[in-house]
Amino acid sequence: MPHDSEPLDPADDRDQRPSKTQRKKASHELQELGEALCRLTDDRLERLAISDSLRDAVQQYKRTRSHEGLRRQMQYIGKLMRQSEVEPIREAVAEQELGRARDSLALHQAEQWRNELIADDDAVTRWTAQHPRTDVQQLRSLVRAARKDAAAAPEQRSGRAYRELFQFIKPFLAGGETADE
């Protein structure tokens, strides 16, 4: 007669283990995380709390050039990842990706502001209202020069003043201030 703690059917024991599909899915997720780990910058990788063997494997992956060598090294990284705490790795990868997204957004906002400043006289007033630390005299000078470049060659949007205006705007947006504040 079975005890209350023993399963009556051996199939019940299988329900508590992950299925082969679940194990493969988890393995693929770890492999993708391992690939993202390999894309981390070297300084982020050094600050990350991972085992030395995993850190060495990632650095070896970055040095490997052959396709087959990369594939085999990634499999090894996946094996090491199964033995590692993955949450700090996920956080580091997410942090890096978020940083890239922020940088990209700041660049798009800078391009948009540059176009507005060149196209509209009121844009300088809006800019200075949102970014009070701006050197208004320098901004107006750059806008005038960019407009002059645009008038001289309307099809070419890459004159020196056009680039200088962008470089002037970019630090305001990359520094955490946004056009919506």
Low-confidence stretches of the chain (pLDDT < 70) are 1-15, 153-158, 175-181
**DSSP state, residue 65:** -
The structure tokens 């990632």 sit at: 58
Stretch(es) of the chain classified as CATH 1.10.60.30: 19-85, 100-174
Please state the CATH superfamily assignment of the domain spanning residues 100-174 in this structure.
PSPTO4464-like domains (1.10.60.30)
Q: CA nearest 50: which of 96, 97, 85, 1?
A: 85
What is the pTM assigned to this prediction? Answer: 0.51
Residue 86 has a pLDDT of 84
Residue 168 has a pLDDT of 92
Residue 179 has a pLDDT of 39
- What is the CATH number assigned to the segment(s) 19-85? 1.10.60.30
Residue 152 has a pLDDT of 74
C-beta separation of 63 from 83 below 8 A: no
CA pair distance 176, 99, nearest whole angstrom: 12
- Measured CA to CA in angstroms, residue 83 lies from 47, 146, 168 at distances of 19, 57, 48
